[in-house]
Amino acid sequence: MPEKLHIQGAVMSHNAEMLHNSEGVPVYGLYIDGEWRPGRGEQHEPICDPATGDVLAQVTRGAVDDTRDAIEAARRAFDEGPWPNLCPGERSQILHRIVDAIEARQDELSDIEMRNAGSTWRKAFLMDIPVGVLHFRHFAKLADYEPLEPVPQITFPMRSYNFVQREPIGVCGQIIPWNFPFLMAVWKLAPALAAGNALVLKPASLTPLSALKLVEIIHETGLLPPGVLNLVTGPGAAIGHELATSPLVDKIAFTGSTEVGREVMRQAAGTVKKVTLELGGKSPSIVLDDADMDVTIDGCLWATFMHNGQACESGTRLFVPDVIYDSFMERLLDRARRIHVGLPADGETDLGPLISAAQLRRVEEYIRIGLAEGATPALLGSRPTDPQLAHGHFITPTIFTDVSNDMRIAQEEIFGPVLTVIKYDRVEEAIRMANDTIYGLAAGVWSSNIDRAVEVAKQIRAGTVWINDYHLINVEAPFGGYKQSGIGRELGIWGLHEYTEVKHVHAAMTSSRKDRFWYDILVPLGSGDGE
């Protein structure tokens, strides 16, 4: 029987001999070829609670050799194992049973997400984990899809039977970010498994614990063949480079910054891998002059400050028409001042900590940049004075007004609780400024006239546009970006198809040689050839 590893009330199966260090902190290994094992270098890194600074665990610092082991295990599982050859219905049944096991342990996962990722109690328990379970369940259903797609009847130069078959790509390298670790793990694992692939998951170094727990739950079901699912923790530069460049890996899926995404794409080009990238954003929210203020005020704050603005699609550029600007801003600022920053476990907390000291410094630097650029701090963020928060990475919200769209704070992704407000005169001007960015991940339009809002939405160059809502990512709809916000789509049937190859099969329906397209080209006329 495997030994048990305890962390914050959660239990983790582990085959490594060392379960705790001398301070009693749990130690996590790597998951390769269906078992937990220590890293080759036997090095570990502390994983901390961003709200308190407490060390939650020590996680193995995997290296290139560990990554190669995981890739080779995935390669064997795909090339020699049963998983890719199961009929879709069988894979679907297995994934449904896995989701049942995950769903039964939502509280453990929520607690880990709250402590490791800095999610508020409400966000972790009511959104992050339940939504992740919902999304995994959806891909379990999609696994039972018909892999054959018809092709219009072909009669030239003779009748033939044609179809397109979707097949799993092979070995998938998957790299996820630190901001929504459980949900991002689901977005990568679930469609890859549903399509019949084998994979190696690389969680973010700051927030690996919920992905480790997810893999542990899957392991304990005993339903996946060894090597189909592998997880390697450690530095992204080494592990990510190996995943992106290895000739044994057929696809790389990355979620993170645009800067790193460019490098992943360059590295993957050497082996011409399939690549999907979900990258950065500087998303606009356009308020029209007929917007419902009660919905729009809260909606625009939610668009920006959900999870402290640490979301790639956050609506951090707010465009407000001058005819309602003064009244709108008065209400927006009044509501924003009542946002409560506090410990994540407090049910009254609206915003918890930023993920790290480095991220806190980055946000503070952008606040200084905004001030230097001449923007007005209508609400100036600062570190809280509450002694309970002294050891965490906390900062209160910032709202800049008198912002021009060419300022750095309006063009660069801050990834923190900083909102830039830009006044506009005509809707066409707002649309032009909304599109004036290297990004195109998401946008919001706020209006009581849906037809009018739809016309605006059509003109915004972004992968998702919400009308009178924000951050509502529907598992049945595609999510991804235009321009430098990414390549490909996640979720829905579009997300599943990103993990498939497309094969066209042509079958001639006659045995006559003379009916072949190539007959008169290949066989010289008058050759005396007979049928």
Indicate the pLDDT class of residue 525, thresholds 50, 70 and 90.
Answer: low
Position 525 in a domain: no
246 and 292 assigned to the same domain: no
Position 500 in a domain: no
Q: Would you state the pLDDT for residue 26?
A: 86
What is the total count of domains within the chain? 2
The CATH number given to whatever domain includes residue 80 is: 3.40.605.10
CA gap 463, 47 in Å, rounded: 34
330 and 361 assigned to the same domain: yes
399 and 414 assigned to the same domain: yes
Indicate the pLDDT class of residue 20, thresholds 50, 70 and 90.
Answer: low
Establish how many alpha carbons lie within 13 A of residue 35's alpha carbon, considering only the half-sphere containing its beta carbon.
Answer: 9
- pLDDT of 7 strictly over 60: no
Mean pLDDT over 234-257 rounds to: 97
Establish how many alpha carbons lie within 13 A of residue 416's alpha carbon, considering only the half-sphere containing its beta carbon.
Answer: 28
242 and 309 assigned to the same domain: no
The residue out of 222, 248, 278 marking a domain boundary is 278
The CATH number given to whatever domain includes residue 403 is: 3.40.309.10
Name the amino acid, one letter, at 203.
Answer: P
CA gap 41, 57 in Å, rounded: 18
Active site residue 312: yes
313 and 394 assigned to the same domain: yes
Beta strands in 176-269 (DSSP E): 198-202, 229-231, 251-255
Give ∠ CA 349-132-296 in degrees, rounded to 5. 50
Indicate the pLDDT class of residue 518, thresholds 50, 70 and 90.
Answer: confident
pLDDT digits (tens, 9 = 90+) for 383-413: 999 999 999 999 999 999 999 999 999 999 9
Position 182 in a domain: yes
In 3D space, the residue among 351, 356, 105, 353 whose CA is nearest the CA of residue 215 turns out to be 105
- pLDDT of 353 strictly over 80: yes
196 and 224 assigned to the same domain: yes
Mean pLDDT over 496-511 rounds to: 92
Domain boundaries, position 227: 3-85+169-278
Indicate the pLDDT class of residue 15, thresholds 50, 70 and 90.
Answer: very low
CA gap 63, 41 in Å, rounded: 7
- pLDDT of 50 strictly over 50: yes
274 and 388 assigned to the same domain: no
First to last CA, the chain: 70
- pLDDT of 180 strictly over 60: yes
Runs of H (alpha helix) within 306-448: 325-336, 357-372, 408-411, 427-435
CA gap 206, 194 in Å, rounded: 28
% of the chain exceeding 70 in pLDDT: 94
Active-site pick, 312, 364, 490, 498: 312
Q: Long-range contacts of range 15-19, CB-CB < 8 Å, 24 or more positions apart?
A: none
Active-site pick, 278, 313, 364, 490: 278
464 and 323 assigned to the same domain: yes
Position 312 in a domain: yes
